[in-house]
A and B are shown apart, each in its own frame.
Chain A
Amino acid sequence: MKLSRRQFTRLASGGLAFASLQGTLSTAGLAQEKPIKIANILDQTGGLNIYSLKQMKAVAMATDEINKAGGLLGRPLELIFYDAQSSNQLYSQYATQALLRDEVDVIHGGVTSSSREVIRPIVGRFKGLYVYNSLYEGGVCDRRHVSTGMVPGQQLDALCPYVVKELGGKKGYILAADYNYGHITSKWLQKYIRDLGGEDLAVEFIPLDVSNFSSVIARIQDAKPDVVWSALVGAAHMSFYRQFHATIGTDEMMLASTTYSIGREHVELAPEEGKGIILATSFYDGLDTPAANDFVRRFKEYTGENDYIGEYGEGGYRGMALWAEAVRRAGSAEPDAVMDALGGTSVEGAGGLYTIDGQTNHTVMNIHVAVQDDKQEFEAIRTFDQMPPIDTQLVCNLNENPNDTTQYEVQLD
Chain B
Amino acid sequence: MDSLMVYVYQIAFSFSILILISLGLALIFGMMKVINLAQGEFLMLGAYFCVLGSNLGLPLWLAMFAAGLGVGLVGVIVERTVIRFLYGRVLDTLLATWGISLFLMGIVTTIAGPQSQSVPSNMGPVNFGGLNVPGYSLVMIVAALLMLAGTYAIWRFTNLGLLVRGTMQNPEMARALGTNTSMIYMFTFGFGSAITGLAGALLVPLFGASPTMGSFYISKAFITVISGGPWPLIGTVSASGLYGVIDGVVSYELSPVLAEICVLFVAVVMLRLLPQGITGRMRKGI
Contacts and interface: CB of A to CB of B under 8 A. Distances in A.
Interface string A212-250: 111110110110000000000001101100110111110
A50 interface: yes
A235 B116 contact: yes
B120 A242 contact: yes
Contact of A238 (B119, B208, B215): B208
Contacts of B132: 221, 247-248
B256 interface: yes
Interface residues of A, number: 39
Interface string B53-85: 000000000000000000000000000000000
Contacts of A205: 257
B135 interface: yes
A409 interface: no
Contacts of A206: 256-257
Contacts of A242: 118, 120, 205-208
A270 B207 contact: no
Contacts of A102: none
A273 B116 CA distance: 13
A272 B206 CA distance: 13
A268 B117 contact: yes
Contacts of B14: 212, 214
A222 B257 CA distance: 19
Given A211-B207, A215-B248, A215-B259, A246 B121 contact: yes
A103 interface: no
A177 to B, nearest CB: 12
Contact of A236 (B117, B137, B205, B216): B216
Contacts of B252: 215, 218-219
A263 B114 CA distance: 11
Interface string B94-132: 000000000000000000011111111101110000011
A219 B256 CA distance: 11
A178 B134 contact: no
A270 B206 CA distance: 11
B213 A235 contact: yes
A247 B208 contact: no
B256 A218 contact: no
Most buried by A among B116, B125, B131, B132: B116
A214 B13 contact: yes
B181 interface: no
Interface in A143-202: 178
B115 A209 contact: no
Interface string B131-160: 111111100000000000000000000000
Most buried by A among B117, B121, B255: B255
B17 interface: yes
B26 interface: no
B212 interface: yes
Contacts of B212: 47, 235
A246 B117 contact: no
A221 to B, nearest CB: 5
Given A50-B114, A215-B256, A218-B10, A249 B125 contact: yes
A211 B137 CA distance: 14
Nearest to B249: A215
Contacts of A247: 125, 132-134
B255 A268 contact: no
A296 to B, nearest CB: 20
Interface residues of B, number: 41
Contact of B17 (A49, A212, A238, A272): A212
Interface string A243-275: 101111100000000000001100111101100
Contacts of A218: 6, 10, 131, 133, 252
B22 interface: no
Interface in B247-275: 248, 251-252, 255-257, 259-260
Contacts of A334: none
Contact of A268 (B116, B205, B256): B116
Given A209-B216, A214-B137, A264 B206 contact: no
A117 interface: no
A239 B125 contact: no
B134 A246 contact: yes
A47 B212 CA distance: 9
Nearest to B125: A247
B210 A235 contact: yes
Contacts of A210: 256-257, 260
A90 to B, nearest CB: 17
Contacts of B10: 214-215, 218
A241 to B, nearest CB: 9
Contacts of A207: 256-257, 260
Given A50-B114, A269-B118, A273-B118, A246 B135 contact: yes
A211 B131 CA distance: 20
B80 to A, nearest CB: 31
A204 interface: yes
Most buried by A among B6, B205, B210, B259: B210
A247 B134 CA distance: 5
A207 B259 CA distance: 12
Contacts of A249: 125
A302 B17 CA distance: 46
A50 B208 CA distance: 17
A276 to B, nearest CB: 14
A214 B136 CA distance: 12
B125 A211 contact: no
Shortest beta-carbon contacts, A-B, top 7 = A246-B134, A215-B251, A235-B210, A215-B252, A247-B132, A270-B120, A239-B207
Given A205-B257, A207-B260, A221-B132, 18 more contacts: A47-B212, A206-B256, A207-B256, A211-B216, A212-B13, A212-B14, A213-B256, A214-B13, A214-B133, A215-B255, A215-B256, A218-B252, A221-B131, A222-B131, A235-B208, A235-B212, A239-B206, A246-B205
19 contacts: A47-B114, A47-B212, A50-B115, A178-B257, A207-B260, A210-B257, A210-B260, A215-B259, A222-B131, A235-B213, A239-B206, A242-B205, A246-B124, A246-B125, A246-B137, A247-B134, A248-B125, A270-B118, A270-B120
